[in-house]
Amino acid sequence: MDTPETNNENPTSDSSVIIYSTPVCHFCHAAKEFFTENNVEYTEHDVAADAEKRQEMIDMTGQMGVPVIKIGDDVIIGFDEPKVKELLKL
């Protein structure tokens, strides 16, 4: 099993950020670029390669679309930049 990738550049919030993504997902790439540009620490799970994390995402959301972004206890399906900014207080 692959270990999750972590980008730990100066987090802007105490909330943990997890993104469930696939390598070919345009909106996943956009979300990760957004996190990097805003110095947000995140953990990435590639649900194309990790069946356990894929099932975790499906159990959490009831669907298979990506990205799924979890910020603290809040879950966002898709890359909703205004909602992400609100939750991260950016």
Average pLDDT over residues 69-87: 97
79-88, Cβ contacts within 8 angstroms, sequence gap of 24 or more: 79/27, 79/28, 79/30, 79/31, 79/34, 81/34, 84/31, 84/34, 87/15, 88/12, 88/13, 88/15, 88/17, 88/38, 88/40
The pLDDT value given to residue 8: 46
For residue 3, pLDDT beyond 50: no
pLDDT digit string, tens, across residues 25-76: 999 999 999 999 999 999 999 999 999 999 999 999 999 999 999 999 999 9
The model's pTM is 0.83
Instruction: With a cut of 50, say whether residue 2 has pLDDT above it.
Output: no
CATH of range 5-88; options 3.40.630.30, 3.40.30.10, 3.40.50.360, 3.40.50.410: 3.40.30.10
